[in-house]
Amino acid sequence: MMAIHYVPLAPSPWPLLIFVATTTSTTGYYEITGKFWNMVKADQGEVIRGWLNIGLTLMLLVCATVILGTAVLRWISGPGARVAQLKDGAAVGSVAEIE
């Protein structure tokens, strides 16, 4: 009975998720190709800082992509999907892989 109150909120995270993913990836791209790449090319003692910023920004973009991809896969697989587990507790992709 209590879950009925949350039904209208179920589709609402997707536009926000798409907005955040788009702005994060766009900003990351422009920071890497603009500001941080200019730090690397400037050769004024900011080369290491530029490469560090590029690496950290790429790591952020990879993490955002993994989170978004996982969310989409869970959304596509539906509410009844479950993750199969081996006897040692390690997760695998589907039940068919362990049979």
Range of the domain at 90: 15-97
- CA 85 vs. chain centroid, Å, equals 24
The answer to the question of residue 3 being in a domain is no
pLDDT in tens, 20-63: 889 989 999 999 999 999 999 987 888 999 999 999 999 999 99
| Three-state secondary structure call for residue 85 | strand
Cα distance between residue 70 and residue 76, in whole Å: 10
The answer to the question of residue 75 being in a domain is yes
Using the CB atoms, write b or e for 56-81: b if 16+ within 10 Å. Answer: ebeeebeeeeeebeeeeeeeeeeeee
- pTM metric for this prediction: 0.65
How many domains would you assign to the chain?
Answer: 1
Cα distance between residue 53 and residue 11, in whole Å: 35
